Amino acid sequence: MSFIIISIIKAAVVAAALLTTLAYLQWIERKVLAHIQLRLGPSRVGPHGLLQPLADVIKLVTKEDLIPPEANKFVYILAPFLAVATALVSVSVIPFGREIEIFGYRTPMQLTDLNIGVLFILAVSSLGVYGVALGGWASNNKYSLLGALRSSAQMISYELPVSLALVSPLLLLNTLSLGEIVQKQAGFLLGFIPNWSIFQLPFPQLLSFVVFLIAGFAETNRIPFDLPEAENELVAGYHTEYSSMKFAAFFMAEYANMITVAAVTTTVFLGGWQPALPGSLGHLAPVALFFMAGMVAFYHGFHPARARDRMTLPVVGAAFLALSALFLVPWVQAAFLPLFWFVVKTGVIFFLFVWVRGTLPRFRYDQLMAFAWKSMFPLAMANLLLTGLAVGLWG
């Protein structure tokens, strides 16, 4: 009974945190792109535009929900929710930290630790193509159908490099459980190099990491691989005919897929929740990071670019300083330090997604497919063969 209650609590906490995060990832992306392009980004709704996601939700909920008269209504309605469901389910096997105690019951910071967790993620993520393909087909719109066909070919093509790139570190770590994968990346080489898959002997998986990350961009339909929704060619691609919450579901699915790719990259290649710095440096990292963030906020509050910054930024600075002090408390550090490292690593990967969107142009469709089959697949296969040889000889 305790197991069921704890599982329900964990599921509720993870769902609430994930859905809130998905809403604010859009705000973060718009702000980062604005800085790249020397713009302000969201700034009108709430301080620094922080209430913009709430305004967007209200707009989408109250917007008229249109269904094209010639659409297949059942499939048209099913597609967006199939897309978001397959995107969210993968998070259930991601470990966010070590075991913690809740009401005297010890439980891992993970919804469930399947002994085939990696296969589960690959299986569920492969179903995501159905949401996009069915949405484009059911709309009875030629632009939507073209976007769906592009997406189907793209996602199926890049699933092969993704799978091959994941198999290579699994040969080193010799497990399919994501919890055990993180545990086997604990410690440091030579006292300061993290024992992550990308550094681990006998064959560091840096090439596999790069292949997986590039293929992850294609799997999530992000620039430079956003051919399914190329607005200058297909209006908006597979979701052209969608509005209201059905469009929001496709929008959520894209960001949920980005989080899944970033979380899997962190878990398999970057040590998951294991610290990036040895000893006391790893323990003091959140204290130093939040303290510096607080000082930066105070500085800009005392030298404001806008009048409201004089009021809002000192509040943000005080919040960062409070977090810095909180991480000096031993029990807080013991419980939340692994979560801190996991969030930081995942956040860096997400920032890379946004950075690439703001700097690279879109590929042509023939370039997209040629890159998958002529570059990514041979590289992933060669890396797998070399990893197998190294493990067989020296592992």
Residue 164 one-letter amino acid: L
In DSSP terms, which residues pair with 100 in a beta bridge? 107
Per DSSP bridges, beta strands 105-109 and 97-102 are antiparallel
Q: What secondary structure letter does DSSP report for 109?
A: E
Q: How many CB atoms lie within 10 A of CB 331?
A: 7
pTM: 0.91
Cα separation, 393 vs 395, whole angstroms: 6
Q: Any residues with CB less than 8 A from the CB of 54 and at least 6 apart, and which?
A: 23, 45, 46
**What b/e readout covers 54-93, taking b as 16+ CB neighbours within 10 angstroms?**
eebeeebeeeeeeebeebeeeebbbbbbbbbbbbbbbbbb
| Residue-level pLDDT at 87 | 85
- In DSSP notation, 57-96 reads HHHHHHS-----TTS-HHHHHHHHHHHHHHHHHGGGG---
Cα separation, 361 vs 375, whole angstroms: 19
Alpha-carbon distance values, 178 to 101, 125, 318 (Å): 20, 16, 37
Cα separation, 374 vs 212, whole angstroms: 15
> Which two tokens mark 116?
């085939």
> Which two tokens mark 258?
């980005």
| Residue-level pLDDT at 141 | 83
Beta strands, E only, the chain: 97-102, 105-109, 188-189, 193-194
| Residue-level pLDDT at 243 | 83
| Residue-level pLDDT at 230 | 63
Q: Which helix (H) or strand (E) holds 5?
A: helix 2-36
What confidence tens digit (pLDDT) does each residue in 171-192 have? 999 888 898 999 999 889 888 8
Answer whether 229's CB lies under 8 Å from 237's CB: yes
Residue ranges in the chain modelled with pLDDT below 50: none
| Residue-level pLDDT at 320 | 94
